[in-house]
Amino acid sequence: MAVLAALAGQDGPRSALALHAALCADGADISLTTVYRALATLTRAGLVHAVDHGTETVYLACGDERHVHLVCRVCGLVAEAEPVRLRDRPAGRPQARGFLIEEVHGVCGPCRAAPRT
């Protein structure tokens, strides 16, 4: 419950290492292994969403409503949006019919508008 509370108090996704550091800074006596195990359990329960962000996985607390995570591959921003289903007759393969999209990777507006260096 301490891991979920710490994650819910964050303003964005955090790595297990960052959560562990925050918990320890708040005085919790918790191992990094316990943090990883708690995150795995919370993810399976649907209370936490794990987002693969390049070289690490970051986690964020989720509400109880179905939603899609929009993930910026430049800055790492994660935003929630309404769930989307592919149309009953999508262009392409029939296996995609009824497929529920849960995570979309792209580039957020501010990153697209930023000058390229």
Q: Model confidence over 101-117: pLDDT tens digits?
A: 777 888 989 998 988 76
Cα(106)–Cα(98) distance, integer angstroms: 22
Q: Between residues 21 and 82, which one has the greater pLDDT?
A: 21
* Beta carbons of 102 and 68 less than 8 angstroms apart: yes
**Residues sharing a CB contact under 8 Å with residue 90, sequence separation 6 or more, in sequence order:** 96, 97
pTM above 0.75, yes or no: no
List pLDDT tens digits, range 46-57. 888 888 877 888
With a cut of 80, say whether residue 13 has pLDDT above it. Answer: yes
What share of the chain has pLDDT > 70, as a percent? Answer: 81
* Beta carbons of 13 and 70 less than 8 angstroms apart: no
